[in-house]
Structure 1
Amino acid sequence: MNEPTGSRPKSPSRPTGGKGAPARKQGPGAKAGGPGTGGGSPGRPAPGFAARKVAADILGNVVHKHRTLDAEYDVTSGHSGFRALEPKDRSLVKAIVAAALRRRGQLDAILAELLDRPIPERTGRVTDILHVAAVQILFLDVADHAAVSLAVDLAGSDKRARPYKGLVNGVLRRLAREKDTLSTITGSGPAGLPLWLATRWRETYGAETFEAILRAHLEEPALDLTVKSDAEGWAERLGGRVVAAGSVRLSRKGAVDGFEGFNEGGWWVQDAAASLPARLLGDLTGKRAADLCAAPGGKTAQLATQGADVTAVDISEKRLKRVHSNLERLGLSARVVAADLRSYEPDEPFDAILLDAPCSATGTMRRHPDVAWTKRPADVTTLAAIQAELLRKTVTWLKPGGVLVYCTCSMEREEGEDQIAALLAEMPGIALEPVLPAEIGGLAECITPEGYLRTLPCHLGGGTEPEGGLDGFFAARLRRL
């Protein structure tokens, strides 16, 4: 069960909006045809209706059908309604859905205060419609009356949701009136994590750190760039600041291909935490290095910038096209190979290997809030088995004295600390080389007692400072004796 960790609605009461519809705590509300409903002329949807409908559809597809946002937003095979929207409306859909996923637990708790009973499951998209409208009223720069009106229209357009049209109107009108008070309700899990994930994170990191992680997840992350050289210079030119071990963090938004330095290949987009594992390999001038599970190519570019003769391997030919295009734009070169690492064998051993193993990606929820709803505990188990296989195979590709950095963008111990502990117990010819604060920009809080790198969303001011935080990453540096 993927129940959000926020408060749950209360017990049912008598219907008011149609047969089987739940009552509202706010007393008599607007009727289905009253104020706040409808904004378009007969037979023609109101402006903005299509975007809200798509947002409710995609939100429901992620939470209930476990579709990824990447799949829904794909310009060739994604949600048909999304593909039909104008660019500005696509941006609005993305903003609404991302905020609704980040705030899911909080929205559940707030709506529970406005409902006597849970909304029955077989009511079309009523809950999704309410979440889409509520997040606009509470957290986005959208006029309250527009959010209410379009939500009522949306309920009226859905056969199963239509009996709840009056309820949607009444609940959202009250929410708009009392939003200053209601927005202070957070519930027990403001990030809206599934129960299984919230439970394991609380156990792994402790209650205080868990709450800090949740606060960090509520904030839209800043844009981080990895630069080929002169981080301070690029920060000044782009109006950003240098963070971590040399990433440039920007507050500006917009299409990155319009930013200074994009066309000339001065930098690439990469979360500051994601840039740290490659830095642990140090100066690679004249050395033979491998980037395994390489797509989309940010770490490949780092290894090339650090002076390596790079072989980039990934199982997906489609994703490797992005590696090629990124390297071309950046003016960097690498040997790019499409292969399954489980059957691949290199021609000769490497001085350095970066294994960014396939993982549950639970550390990337700041940027990909759908991850909470598209992953299951069984996925962690399955992926951990693959990681163990890849790690044991690829570490043998090192030259004597060579170094391998294993990393995952996962918050789960099974995909990080447990993997390395098991490997070291089985392979006496491999030694752990602890990470030092100076190698990662002085971020001592990101180094575990064992010497592993473990970044969390609440690190670097996540949840407490404007434009703070890091993706959740694990990395360990191993040397072949």
Structure 2
Amino acid sequence: MRQTGLSARRTAHHLLMQIIDEGRLMSELVGSGALASLGPEDRARAQRLATEALRGLDRADRMLKPYIKKTPPTHVMNALRLGVIELCSGAAAHGVVNAYVEIVARNKRTQAMKGLTNAVLRKIADEGPEGWAKRALPLTPGWLRQPLVAAWGREAVTGIEVAHFAGAPLDLTARTDPVALADAVGGTVLPTGSVRLADHGQVSALPGYETGDWWVQDAAAALPVKLLGDVTGLRVLDLCAAPGGKTLQLAAGGAQVTAVDMSARRMARVQENLQRTGLQAKTVISDAFEYDEGGYDAVLLDAPCSATGTIRRHPDLPYAKDGSEFGALIAQQETMIDHALTLLKPGGRLVFCTCSLLPDEGEVQVEDALERHPHLQADRSALDIPGVDPAWITDEGGLRLRPDYWPDLGGMDGFYMSVLRHNAA
């Protein structure tokens, strides 16, 4: 007899193995077909299980620790972690335990540990949701937590971890009227103008999707474009444009937009959203460094970065990465800033931003750029926009956003942004 839910659980286990053991990102796995063999319901269940396990992995490990004398192989450990997540969310013990015992037993290298898996998960079932609630807040892996504490302090990092554990609500950017959009979808208008939904079903089933009245975009990610103010008629380059939320904002604001990204697959999504929303932009598939058309009034550079500001939506990131590639990213950001400045007309503006929590990818980059370019100035007046707390403005003239901000509203992504004005010599 086929066990209900086994396929979804096996796939969730496979996702964890690929992320934790192989260092692959969830988006990469899903994009390459890891869920393709499942039906819609099982696809959603598998991804949800894996995401919840990653979000609570540190707490799950603490819960398992009293029942394991020696850490088992990762194949077994990941089955136990998934079991903890399900049992502590109130799932029936019989089905959960049997499923993960079978997953362990199917692997020749770990089949001898099916008895351990059964015994440990039975004990976890006895503790259940009450035992889960007693455990401490999950901590960020040490390789990332240490630099975050050095940058923001322990209290702030605890707030960030609270936001990461809670996950992210759905934020939408309205093409025209955020108040009307909030009424239509049952959301709330945030202080900066984004519309937030705490509970939602299938995104494409929400009112206004088919008619292109909005697009999904975290509230923090929607702010860089707003720093440019009225863009009507301006020639604006969106460099590293995918997934395209900022391109849509600029087009909706009346700018003449050119969107550049090197990924044909991701640019196809941008083009699909432009078509859905009825907005116009020129799209170019090109490496940012090879794009040399100049004379823009403004360049928006959302530079490739560590993406550490997006962990509440992508909890796989601190387990798939270890920080070893960050040095190369930081060097790339520096050269991208220098290249982007060559594409501006005199007096033009560069909006530099990254979805990172690391100062080396934000505040330090702008400090260094101001030193390299004597005629460059940070435009502090651009930061005076609705909903921005003056406390978020940094010494060098940027805007620092963190997940622990707006705790009563559901937080936001970590982001850094600054408007740099390229004055003539």
Partners of 1:451 and 1:442 in 2: how far apart? Answer: 14
| Structure with the largest fraction of helix | 2
Aligned ranges for residues 248-263 of structure 1 at < 5 Å?
A: 248-263=195-210
Query: Alpha carbons of 1:379 and 1:320: their partners in 2 closer, same or farther (altered >3 Å)?
Result: same
Query: Alpha carbons of 1:169 and 1:433: their partners in 2 closer, same or farther (altered >3 Å)?
Result: same
**Moved >4 Å (runs of 4+):** 435-438
1:162 is matched with: 111
Deviations 1:195-251 (A, max 9, x none): 211111111110000111111101121100000121111111110001141100012
Conservation of the 8 A alpha-carbon contact between 2:173 and 2:194: yes
Q: Which amino acid aligns with 1:365?
A: I
Query: Alpha carbons of 1:436 and 1:208: their partners in 2 closer, same or farther (altered >3 Å)?
Result: farther
Conservation of the 8 A alpha-carbon contact between 2:367 and 2:396: no
How does the TM-score come out when normalised to structure 2? 0.95
Partners of 2:96 and 2:57 in 1: how far apart? Answer: 17
Query: Alpha carbons of 1:313 and 1:87: their partners in 2 closer, same or farther (altered >3 Å)?
Result: same
Give 3-state SS (helix, strand or coil) of 2:158's partner. Answer: helix
Aligned ranges for residues 112-131 of structure 1 at < 5 Å?
A: 112-119=65-72, 121=73, 125-131=75-81
1:283 aligns with 2:230: yes
User: How far apart are 1:438 and its partner, in Å?
Assistant: 4.3
Deviations 1:440-473 (A, max 9, x none): 5133343224331111111111xxx3x6010111
1:397 is matched with: 343
Q: 1:62 aligns with which of 7, 12, 19?
A: 19
1:202 is matched with: 149
Q: 1:171 aligns with which of 114, 120, 128?
A: 120
Query: Alpha carbons of 1:138 and 1:436: their partners in 2 closer, same or farther (altered >3 Å)?
Result: farther
User: How far apart are 1:116 and its partner, in Å?
Assistant: 2.6
| Structure 1 residue ranges without an equivalent (≥5) | 1-40
1:83 aligns with 2:28: no
Query: Alpha carbons of 1:149 and 1:382: their partners in 2 closer, same or farther (altered >3 Å)?
Result: same
Q: Which amino acid aligns with 1:113?
A: P
Partners of 2:381 and 2:248 in 1: how far apart? Answer: 22
User: How far apart are 1:142 and its partner, in Å?
Assistant: 2.5
2:320 is matched with: 374
Conservation of the 8 A alpha-carbon contact between 2:174 and 2:213: yes
Partners of 1:55 and 1:440 in 2: how far apart? Answer: 42
Q: Which amino acid aligns with 1:134?
A: V
Partners of 1:328 and 1:69 in 2: how far apart? Answer: 27
User: How far apart are 1:264 and its partner, in Å?
Assistant: 1.0
Give 3-state SS (helix, strand or coil) of 1:184's partner. Answer: helix
User: How far apart are 1:337 and its partner, in Å?
Assistant: 1.1
User: How far apart are 1:145 and its partner, in Å?
Assistant: 2.5
1:245 aligns with 2:187: no
Q: Which amino acid aligns with 1:424?
A: L
2:94 is matched with: 145
Query: Alpha carbons of 1:272 and 1:294: their partners in 2 closer, same or farther (altered >3 Å)?
Result: same
How does the TM-score come out when normalised to structure 1? 0.85
1:446 is matched with: 392
Partners of 2:130 and 2:273 in 1: how far apart? Answer: 48
2:138 is matched with: 190
User: How far apart are 1:181 and its partner, in Å?
Assistant: 4.5
Query: Alpha carbons of 1:94 and 1:440: their partners in 2 closer, same or farther (altered >3 Å)?
Result: farther
Conservation of the 8 A alpha-carbon contact between 2:227 and 2:382: no
Partners of 2:364 and 2:395 in 1: how far apart? Answer: 14
Conservation of the 8 A alpha-carbon contact between 2:366 and 2:396: no
Partners of 1:111 and 1:185 in 2: how far apart? Answer: 13
Structure whose CA Rg is larger: 1
Deviations 1:171-215 (A, max 9, x none): 11111112245213445x604x33211111111110000111111
Partners of 1:379 and 1:183 in 2: how far apart? Answer: 34
Give 3-state SS (helix, strand or coil) of 2:192's partner. Answer: coil
User: How far apart are 1:143 and its partner, in Å?
Assistant: 2.1
Partners of 1:181 and 1:454 in 2: how far apart? Answer: 37
Q: 1:474 aligns with which of 409, 416, 424?
A: 416
Q: Which amino acid aligns with 1:267?
A: W
User: How far apart are 1:327 and its partner, in Å?
Assistant: 0.7
Partners of 2:221 and 2:377 in 1: how far apart? Answer: 23
Deviations 1:107-161 (A, max 9, x none): 1111112223322x3xx6110100011011113x532322112112222222222
Q: Which amino acid aligns with 2:33?
A: G
1:383 aligns with 2:329: yes
2:55 is matched with: 102
| Structure 2 residue ranges without an equivalent (≥5) | none
Q: State, as a whole percentage, how many aligned pairs show the same letter.
A: 39
Give 3-state SS (helix, strand or coil) of 2:356's partner. Answer: coil
Conservation of the 8 A alpha-carbon contact between 1:359 and 1:384: yes
Give 3-state SS (helix, strand or coil) of 1:84's partner. Answer: coil
Q: Which amino acid aligns with 1:132?
A: L
1:132 aligns with 2:82: yes
Conservation of the 8 A alpha-carbon contact between 2:300 and 2:350: yes
Single out whichever of 428-437 and 158-167 deviates more from structure 2.
Answer: 428-437
Partners of 1:289 and 1:233 in 2: how far apart? Answer: 28
User: How far apart are 1:437 and its partner, in Å?
Assistant: 6.1
Q: Which amino acid aligns with 1:128?
A: N
User: How far apart are 1:374 and its partner, in Å?
Assistant: 2.4
Give 3-state SS (helix, strand or coil) of 1:83's partner. Answer: coil
Give 3-state SS (helix, strand or coil) of 2:374's partner. Answer: coil
Q: Tell me the matched-pair count.
A: 423
Conservation of the 8 A alpha-carbon contact between 1:459 and 1:470: yes
